[in-house]
A and B are shown apart, each in its own frame.
Chain A
Amino acid sequence: MSRLPVTKTPKPYVGGAFIRSESGRTYPLADAAGAFFAHVPQCTRKDLRNAVEAAAKAGPGWAKRTAYNRGQILYRLAEMLEARGDEMTGTLVRFGAARAAAAREVAASVDRLVYYAGWADKYEQVLGNVNPVASPHFNFTVTEPMGIVGVIAPDAPALLGLVSLVAPVIVSGNTVVALASEATPYPAVLLGEMLATSDLPGGVVNLLTGFRRELVPTFATHAHLRALSAAVGPEDAKTLRLGAADSIKRVRIVDATKPADWLSARAESVYAVRDFLEFKTTWHPIGA
């Protein structure tokens, strides 16, 4: 007699804990074959606000970590994903990816994390500088993280899209509240489990599952989100930009309706890190 497997309850990773939606709502998720997979929490605006609170608590500590430390933690996350690569690949296959494509996506996700891990203690040297002002001042421009950034992952690739948006945001000390792929949310749930074991402080990355149409307007207008990074279509992009105007929020959009090569080296850049940095210029006096 075959053993009955123990199925996992998918739980979003918020504030360093695995939660259910405060609303108690879930929606049934089927795999690519149409078989029932699990009930996925249908997070609400309130869950989003709670996640923003968790991110706000984690933010100052994360931003104060040394660049070296943040780099090592991102690298540790890559280690976690590599180690559980087969499980992640199997998940992507179960939700419709061809095995080879799934393996490529997982490998690219690991490599992307390693890529950004390496930037942690270098982007400042590339993006900031000393300015030769015409007065007796030591004038220098350095970068600072913006704070809490809202991320809306593309539907596909569910894992690589999410990783590609989150990694350049957190490497500089920002914290993230992310909405997972609506079509394929489970890889994000799995990624949350890896985040939990990667030395990343709780609350730095908060992953929600749910419906875009319910959450996009709150991402747009939540005043404590200082920036948005979203892979969405033109309509959601407009909603996000309109709402962002209320608090002069920075918005970076990847048009999800256009074909994008997430695997390519073009999809990773120090300029993605730059988009979530503020430049601060200090005039320090020279003299007695």
Chain B
Amino acid sequence: MPTLAKKTPARPVSRPGRPAPELIFGDLWPFDPAPETADPKLQPRYDLFIGGRFVAPQSGKYFDSINPANEKKLAEIALAGPADVDAAYAAAAKAAGPWAKLPGRERAKYLFRLARLLQDRAREFAVAETLDGGKPIKESRDFDVPMAAAHFFYHAGWADKLEYLAPGRRVAPLGVVGQVIPWNFPLLMLAWKLAPALAAGNTVVLKPAETTSITCLKFAEIIREAGLPPGVVNFVTGAGEVGAAVVNHPVPAKIAFTGSTDVGKLIMRALAGTDKKLTLELGGKAANIVFDDAPLDQAVEGIVNGIFFNQGHVCCAGSRLLVHEPVADAVLAKLKRRLAVLKVGDPLDKNTDIGAINSAAQLQRIRDLVAAGESEGAELYQPACRLPDKGYYFRPTLFSGVTMSHRIAREEIFGPVLSILTFRTVEEAVEKANNTAYGLSAGVWTDKGSRILKLSTELKAGVVWANTYNKFDPTSPFGGYKESGFGREGGRQGLLDYAQLT
């Protein structure tokens, strides 16, 4: 019978007085580049999409759309003028009657087609989205594009079931809807806007953000492939003055806007003397609340996803971390370690975690607010990652020692910058979380189900994520309290915002 030799460990398991050794990845073991190579099938020049056709702007003017990752020109985009907006609304108004009268069953099939065609061309759209907006390919590939398709698929099935939408009342389309969307999720916001509007029987004039028009105009190709009747969807491109023309035009019965709270207020004032309906999805300054009983490693992943998803260009970003005092040091240490291995760089690289900031202007705004955070006395931490030479990049940033009065705790930064505050009691957490003019979203990390429900009852926010963050679903209504806007997008509640009760 063989004797079992007592094995000695190769290395001591514990070394008293010294921290456990750990492997640091990051720059020591660089990843090989892993660029996504699918062809985005970009055209050198994109025209307006009006009445089912691509038409040149009446001014003949175009502007450049650049890739924020390397500042190179991607394509020329038509600059719409008031006459083009007129033409778009005329096309939408002409299409409105027949589209509304089309049996819901048939309208539904058009929307199902849009969903399917987008799925067919998903990789192409993902690459185009990443090139145009700077977001990591893994996000556009795994989130933006599939979620956009899902929104069309979900709303398609509503088109012939609208009698179930508002119990006790019948619903009718509003008519023509004007929509203005932001640059952070160009294709997804387009889907959030178009799908419910079309399902409810409206026709649309939509303006994408000027820095991210490409996937919108590529979607016009899908609209043509789907055979959607001309004029049901029209796209006009350009900057704020085109948006103003879309909003102030007399034809639309409703305006839907996603963007900053400041512009939302301008739109409310612009519509004050009219009968137009309005929904607004505006800014946020969400609290992500971590209790001491939370699974901390999972929470740290959620915090990172909450603030660094899409470079922090997310209206519902978890930009205020509220940590329970007993675990504050541990969470901060884990966060720093996690930040050290985040990969910042080429958005087309499949390993990239944080891509390019969407524009030079946005990069400047982030820098200004970070400078304000430092000058107001918060403690800054940034990992020492290398940034590409060209393009707009910003290191993932933590601020600890933040108080409620700091600008970085009150103003929406819309960048990869996390402000960390602490709390001692549940009441203090709720008080701090609600102490903001915004009310879009919040996160809660705890092992106690009853505490999740208590917090979700007391937080003044339209979406509360428990032990997760930045989750979206077409069936799940999204939208804010207070100055984060009104109306919902997604689900039954969102769809009703595109119908009138009769």
Contacts and interface: CB of A to CB of B under 8 A. Distances in A.
Given A141-B477, A248-B261, A280-B461, A241 B272 contact: yes
A267 to B, nearest CB: 13
Interface residues of B, number: 47
Contacts of A139: 473, 475-476
Contact of B453 (A241, A281, A283, A284): A284
A23 interface: no
Contact of B268 (A127, A245, A271): A245
A284 B466 contact: yes
A7 B168 CA distance: 47
B268 A241 contact: yes
Interface residues of A, number: 33
A246 B265 contact: yes
B485 A248 contact: yes
B486 interface: yes
A134 B464 contact: no
A248 B464 contact: no
A141 B465 contact: no
A238 B483 contact: no
Interface string B265-281: 11011011100000010
Nearest to A141: B477
A245 B272 contact: yes
B479 interface: yes
A283 B456 CA distance: 9
Contacts of A66: none
Nearest to A253: B275
B272 A242 contact: yes
A250 B261 CA distance: 14
Interface in B435-490: 437, 449, 452-453, 456, 461-468, 471, 473, 475-479, 481-486, 488
B406 to A, nearest CB: 22
A131 B476 CA distance: 6
B473 A280 contact: no
Q: Which of B453, B464, B477 has the most CB of A within 10 A?
A: B477
Interface in A265-288: 269-271, 278-285
A1 interface: no
B462 A238 contact: no
B169 A269 contact: yes
Given A238-B272, A242-B272, A250-B486, A278 B475 contact: no
A112 interface: no
B93 to A, nearest CB: 24
A226 B482 CA distance: 7
A284 B452 contact: yes
A133 interface: yes
B403 interface: no
B491 interface: yes
A64 B441 CA distance: 22
A275 to B, nearest CB: 10
Contacts of A271: 166, 169, 501
Interface in A239-271: 241-242, 244-248, 250, 269-271
B264 interface: yes
Nearest to B280: A248
A278 B282 CA distance: 15
A284 B467 CA distance: 8
A282 B473 contact: no
B343 interface: no
A34 interface: no
A269 B268 contact: no
B467 A131 contact: no
Contacts of B282: 248
A132 B273 CA distance: 40
B223 interface: no
A254 to B, nearest CB: 13
Nearest to B501: A271
Contacts of A281: 462-464, 476-478, 491
A141 B486 CA distance: 15
A126 interface: yes
Contacts of A226: 482
Nearest to A139: B476
Interface of B: 150, 166-169, 261, 264-266, 268-269, 271-273, 280, 282, 437, 449, 452-453, 456, 461-468, 471, 473, 475-479, 481-486, 488, 491-493, 501
Given A238-B272, A248-B484, 14 more contacts: A132-B475, A134-B473, A141-B477, A241-B272, A245-B272, A247-B437, A269-B168, A279-B479, A281-B463, A281-B464, A281-B476, A281-B491, A283-B464, A283-B468
29 contacts: A129-B492, A131-B491, A133-B473, A133-B476, A134-B150, A137-B468, A139-B475, A141-B493, A238-B273, A241-B268, A241-B273, A245-B265, A245-B266, A245-B269, A248-B264, A248-B280, A248-B482, A248-B483, A269-B501, A271-B501, A281-B462, A281-B463, A281-B491, A282-B453, A282-B464, A283-B465, A283-B471, A284-B452, A284-B466
Q: What 4 A-B pairs come out closest when comparing CB atoms?
A: A245-B268, A241-B272, A133-B473, A131-B475
